[in-house]
Structure 1
Amino acid sequence: MTSPEPRSFTTAAVPPVPFDPELAAALDALGAQSPLTPEAIPAVRAAVASVPLGDEALACGGELSWEERTVAGPPGGPDVTLLIGRPADAGPTAGLPVLYHLHGGGMVAGSRRHLLSDVLTWTRTLRTVTVSVEYRLAPEHPHPAPLEDCYAGLVWTARHAAELGGAPDRIIAVGASAGGGLAAGLTLLARDRGGPAPAAQILLSPMLDDRDRTPSARQMEGRDMWDRVSNATGWNALLGGAAGTADVSPYAAPARADDLSGLPPAYLDVGSAETFRDETVAYAGRLWQSGVPCELHVWPGGCHGFDEMAPEARLSRRAKRARREWLSSLLDTGRGDR
Structure 2
Amino acid sequence: MSTPNRPIAHGAPSVAPVPFDPELLPALEALAASPQPGLSRATLAAMREPGAGPAFSSGAELVAGRPVTAEELLIPGPEGAPDLEITVFAPADRGPSPLPVLVNFHGGGMIVGHRSWEHGRVVDLVERHGVVGVNVEYRLAPEHPYPAGAEDNYAATRWVSEHAAELGADPDRLIVMGGSAGGGFAAAVSLMARDRGGPAIAGQLLLCPMLDNTNSTVSSLQYDGIGTWARDANLLAWECVLGEELAYSPEAPAYAAPARAADLSGLPPAFIEVGAAEMFRDEDVDYARRIWETGGQAELHVWSGGCHGFDMYMPDTEISRAALASRDSWISRVLSGGGDA
Please give the range of the TM-score, normalised by the shorter of the 2 chains.
over 0.9
After TM superposition, list the pairs within 5 Å mapping 1:186-335 onto structure 2.
Answer: 186-241=189-244, 242-331=246-335, 333-335=336-338
SS at match of 1:18: coil
Say if 1:73 and 1:215 are closer, same or farther in 2 by CA, change over 3 A. same
RMSD, matched Cα: 1.9
The whole-number CA distance in structure 1 between the counterparts of 2:273 and 2:296 is 16
SS at match of 1:39: coil
Contact 1:98 1:130 in 2 (8 A): yes
The CA deviation at 1:305 is 1.0
What does residue 25 of structure 2 align with?
Answer: 24
The whole-number CA distance in structure 1 between the counterparts of 2:64 and 2:99 is 19
After TM superposition, list the pairs within 5 Å mapping 1:159-174 onto structure 2.
Answer: 159-174=162-177
The whole-number CA distance in structure 1 between the counterparts of 2:320 and 2:68 is 24
The answer to whether structure 1 residue 180 and structure 2 residue 215 are counterparts is no
Say if 1:60 and 1:314 are closer, same or farther in 2 by CA, change over 3 A. farther
The answer to whether structure 1 residue 98 and structure 2 residue 97 are counterparts is no
What does residue 3 of structure 1 align with?
Answer: none
Contact 1:102 1:132 in 2 (8 A): yes
The CA deviation at 1:35 is 4.2
The CA deviation at 1:272 is 0.5
Unaligned runs of 5+ in 2: 1-6
Say if 1:13 and 1:181 are closer, same or farther in 2 by CA, change over 3 A. closer
TM-score by length of 1: 0.93
SS at match of 2:42: helix
The answer to whether structure 1 residue 70 and structure 2 residue 74 are counterparts is yes
The CA deviation at 1:223 is 0.9
Contact 2:250 2:260 in 1 (8 A): no
What does residue 138 of structure 1 align with?
Answer: 141
* AA matched with 1:85: F
SS at match of 1:239: helix
Say if 1:288 and 1:86 are closer, same or farther in 2 by CA, change over 3 A. same
Say if 1:48 and 1:299 are closer, same or farther in 2 by CA, change over 3 A. farther
Query: How high is the sequence identity, in percent, across the aligned residues?
Result: 48
The whole-number CA distance in structure 2 between the counterparts of 1:41 and 1:251 is 24
SS at match of 2:117: coil
* AA matched with 2:20: F
TM-score by length of 2: 0.92
SS at match of 1:281: helix
Count how many residue pairs are aligned between Structure 1 and Structure 2.
331
In structure 2, which of residues 45, 55, 63 is the aligned counterpart of residue 51 of structure 1? 55
Contact 2:14 2:221 in 1 (8 A): no
